[in-house]
Amino acid sequence: MHPDTPQPPPSLRLTVDTDALAANWRALDALSGAASAGAAVKADAYGLGVDTCVPVLRDAGCETFFVAHWSEVAGVAAHVPADRIAVLHGVLSEADCAYARSIGAVPVINSLDQARLWQASGGGRCHLMVDTGINRLGISLGESGDPVIGGLAIDILMSHLASADETTAMNRMQAELLREAADSIAHQRLSLANSAGIALGEAFAFDVTRPGLALYGGVPRAELEGHIRQVARVEAQIIQCRQLAPGDAVGYNGTFIANTPMRVGTVSIGYADGFLRSRGPGNALLHQGRPLPILGKVSMDMVVTDLAAAPDLGPGDWIEVPWNIADAAQQNTLSPYEMLTVLGRRLRGA
């Protein structure tokens, strides 16, 4: 290959509406009342790309960013000061502590063992997770009086709502338990609410909220409808068109068999790109509002669609792949979180 030969354009494209992303953060910040909204940008900004999303969120006014793994810090730190980045999984080794000090990101301490490890490495600013009922990460309330906790320099004391997308007494109980923990643990700021928690009202906002899904277009509670805009748009090209005769089978295992003559199109997207097989049966792709039903099983790199509603389409034409995560009809058996985070590398690199 000649080194100057340009790579051809991809047959997939993911468009991130950065204006909508910024508007979503501003709306969630306003709904947080006196609290400041941060942003969960873990999992490559929920699949939409840290390099695309973090500068937009930063410029909109966001000052605190949350990731899960230390491996995610450098990508975010390319756009914001590292001391604005909180690492939710905390420190599991001396290497984690050394990296935290080197780059300046802030660990979320989740256990007495993590607290001891952080203190043994020199201590300093950290955040602390208190478990109030989700039983994933965090110290128990009974451990709040341990001397190692008293020795931490805690900025954000936080917990995580287990059922914020539901109306349940557990939400109020968790907020009250965090208030109790705050009475006995020295801290600078409190944080509890995720996207759905923001919709529960200012009593759950405390000082810092941690929206994730709603930033990227999800609506986990009805109260957020009208405030949140769609952010992601996915399109794929038709690779080939063909005519089916009655009796022709489509795809693996021939799960669709034509009973009349049909014109169909093979489209350049599959489960390797995050369009999972569960989204195939009974669903459709779109072109200018015209539904193009999916025929047969979703393959790794392609799906076949019925072109009866769009006889004008041919190879090279672009098809919309429904990815509105606020639309429950498009979620099928997937949660909106999964619809974003399963986006494949071919789409995210497009």
Map out the domains of the chain as residue ranges: 18-224, 232-348
In the set 42, 99, 271, 337, the catalytic residue is 42
- What does the pLDDT look like over 225-240, one tens digit per residue? 999 999 999 999 999 9
- What does the pLDDT look like over 162-221, one tens digit per residue? 999 999 999 999 999 999 999 999 999 999 999 999 999 999 999 999 999 999 999 999
Residues of the chain with pLDDT under 70: 1, 328-333, 349-350
Question: Rounded distance, CA 314 to CA 10, Å?
Answer: 17
Cβ-contact 230, 215 below 8 angstroms: no
Q: For domain 18-224, give the fold.
A: TIM Barrel (3.20.20)
Q: For domain 232-348, give the fold.
A: Lyase, Ornithine Decarboxylase; Chain A, domain 1 (2.40.37)
Give the per-residue pLDDT at 91: 98
Which residues, in sequence order, are bridge partners of residue 266?
240, 304
Question: Rounded distance, CA 314 to CA 236, Å?
Answer: 13
Structure tokens that stand for 118 in this block: 């952080």
Reported pTM: 0.93
Cβ-contact 38, 64 below 8 angstroms: yes
Q: Is 297 a catalytic residue?
A: no
Q: At 107, which amino acid appears?
A: P
Q: Is 337 a catalytic residue?
A: no
Q: Give CA separation, 259 vs 72, 233, 245, 249, 262, in Å.
A: 51, 33, 8, 10, 9
Give the per-residue pLDDT at 103: 97
Question: Rounded distance, CA 31 to CA 221, Å?
Answer: 13
| Cα 136–chain centre separation | 19
Give the per-residue pLDDT at 42: 97
**Helices within 104-235 (DSSP H only):** 112-120, 147-150, 169-184, 195-199
Fold agreement between 18-224 and 232-348: no
Give the per-residue pLDDT at 186: 97
In the set 46, 99, 216, 252, the catalytic residue is 252
Give the per-residue pLDDT at 328: 54
